């Protein structure tokens, strides 16, 4: 067994930063799409903005203290070079500051003062690209190393963005389900919100399935290091059961089928969208669990495999 230079703190960081960046990105996109002044869908934008920065900060705290020299972390800001970790650090720092301000703008539910609505929009314009950068750079960071065949693929960054957006959406879904306006007069708005979240999440999970399929297929069809590396998640490999049960079944297939089950009647037959609290919570939790399992598998698999010939 190889030693793991990057362990649980890094795995948690990848998961939490992806989730938070995804939630803020979804929030910002929804806000900008709706002009930011309408009450409907305000819950999505508001909960996304409010919960997003917390996991990102928590994850950042974890990796700073995972460093061999935690108190040297400021050395990262002494320069900007082409290392994905350097670019990512700057993006992460900017994102933490701006998404924090963005969250503060959402503490009052109504944008009582006109400038508040404007501030929300300006910050949303900044937080969406930064959120995507935070979600993507970790995939580029891992993907950049020929020494790590399991990671060394451009598709990893794509997988990380999709996983970040879908876990972020799931987190918002959970918040809206648990704390959203439940009064009768808001019923329609709430159902619209959930429809938007559930259908987007289904799309994102579909994308994840496609990317994972491509990843497995290319790795399996190739020869040498990459093929040897991917064997750890193929049946018989040491991480196979967590991958197939945790990521594929619980993290993707179950929520995907449940979401289709909710979305399709409205999408195809124009029926009213109906959802239940239990289903929303179950779907959101399984997406979150699957997102964590995915990061776990990728970080570990990359380190227990390596070049096969000297």
Look up residue 33 and give its two tokens: 């799409």
Look up residue 206 and give its two tokens: 């579909």
Q: Minimum Å distance from CB 87 to other proteins?
A: 8
- Is residue 283 classed as helix, strand or coil in its secondary structure? helix
Position among 8, 67, 97, 217 found at the interface with other proteins (CB under 8 A): 67
Compare residues 63 and 202 and give the one whose CB is closer to other proteins.
63
Q: Which of residues 171-200 bind other proteins (CB under 8 A)?
A: none
Compare residues 247 and 299 and give the one whose CB is closer to other proteins.
299
d(CA 142, CA 83): 11
d(CA 117, CA 126): 15
Considering only CA atoms, which of 81, 84, 65 is closest in space to residue 73?
65
Q: Which stretch binds other proteins (CB under 8 A): 156-164, 183-191, 215-223, 300-308?
A: 300-308
Q: Which of residues 202-231 bind other proteins (CB under 8 A)?
A: 228
Compare residues 138 and 275 and give the one whose CB is closer to other proteins.
138
Helical packing angle, 84-104 and 8-33, nearest 10°: 50
Q: How many residues form the binding site for other proteins (CB under 8 A)?
A: 35
Considering only CA atoms, which of 308, 259, 307 is closest in space to residue 287?
259
Considering only CA atoms, which of 155, 103, 161 is closest in space to residue 132?
161
Cβ partners under 8 Å of residue 122, min gap 6: none
Q: Which stretch binds other proteins (CB under 8 A): 144-152, 231-239, 243-251, 265-273?
A: 144-152
d(CA 186, CA 78): 50
Look up residue 88 and give its two tokens: 């990512």
Q: Give the single-character DSSP code of 232.
A: T
Binding of other proteins by 8 (CB under 8 A): no
CB 102 within 8 A of CB 24: yes
In the shown chain, the binding pattern of residues 145 to 164 toward other proteins, with x for contact by CB under 8 A and - for none, equals xxxx----------------
Backbone angles phi, psi at 223, to 5 degrees: -125, 165
Q: Minimum Å distance from CB 80 to other proteins?
A: 5
Q: Which of residues 71-130 bind other proteins (CB under 8 A)?
A: 72-73, 75-76, 78-86, 89
Compare residues 83 and 276 and give the one whose CB is closer to other proteins.
83
d(CA 250, CA 244): 9
Compare residues 231 and 259 and give the one whose CB is closer to other proteins.
231
Position among 11, 45, 136, 144 found at the interface with other proteins (CB under 8 A): 144
Position among 51, 141, 204, 233 found at the interface with other proteins (CB under 8 A): 141
Q: Please report, as ranges, the residues that interact with other proteins according to CB under 8 A.
A: 2-3, 5-6, 67-69, 72-73, 75-76, 78-86, 89, 141, 144-148, 228, 302-303, 306-310
């Amino acid at each position: 067994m190889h030693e793991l230079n990057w362990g649980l703190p890094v795995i948690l960081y990848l998961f939490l930063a992806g989730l938070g960046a995804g939630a803020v990105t979804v929030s910002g996109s929804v806000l900008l799409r709706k002009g930011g002044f309408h009450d409907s869908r305000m819950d999505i934008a508001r909960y996304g903005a409010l919960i997003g920065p917390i996991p990102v900060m928590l994850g950042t705290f974890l990796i700073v203290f995972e460093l061999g020299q935690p108190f040297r972390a400021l050395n990262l800001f002494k320069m900007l070079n082409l290392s994905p970790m350097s670019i990512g650090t700057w993006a992460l720092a900017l994102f933490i500051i701006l998404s924090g301000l963005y969250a503060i703008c959402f503490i009052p539910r109504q944008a009582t003062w006109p400038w508040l609505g404007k501030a929300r929009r300006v910050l949303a314009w900044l937080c969406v690209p930064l959120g995507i950068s935070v979600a993507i750079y970790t995939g580029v960071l891992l993907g950049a190393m020929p020494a790590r065949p399991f990671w060394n693929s451009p598709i990893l960054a794509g997988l990380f963005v999709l996983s970040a957006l879908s876990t972020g959406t799931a987190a918002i879904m959970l918040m809206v389900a648990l704390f959203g306006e439940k009064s009768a007069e808001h019923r329609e708005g709430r159902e619209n919100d959930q429809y938007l979240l559930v259908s987007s999440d289904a799309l994102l999970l579909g994308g994840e399935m496609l990317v994972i399929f491509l990843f497995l297929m290319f790795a399996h069809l190739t020869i040498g290091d990459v093929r040897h590396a991917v064997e750890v998640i193929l049946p018989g490999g040491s991480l196979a059961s967590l991958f197939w049960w945790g990521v594929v079944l619980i993290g993707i297939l179950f929520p995907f089928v449940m979401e289709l089950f909710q979305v399709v009647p409205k999408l195809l037959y124009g029926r009213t969208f109906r959802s239940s609290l239990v289903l929303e919570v179950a779907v959101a939790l399984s997406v979150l669990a699957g997102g964590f399992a995915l990061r776990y598998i990728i970080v570990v698999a990359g380190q227990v495999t390596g070049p096969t010939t000297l």
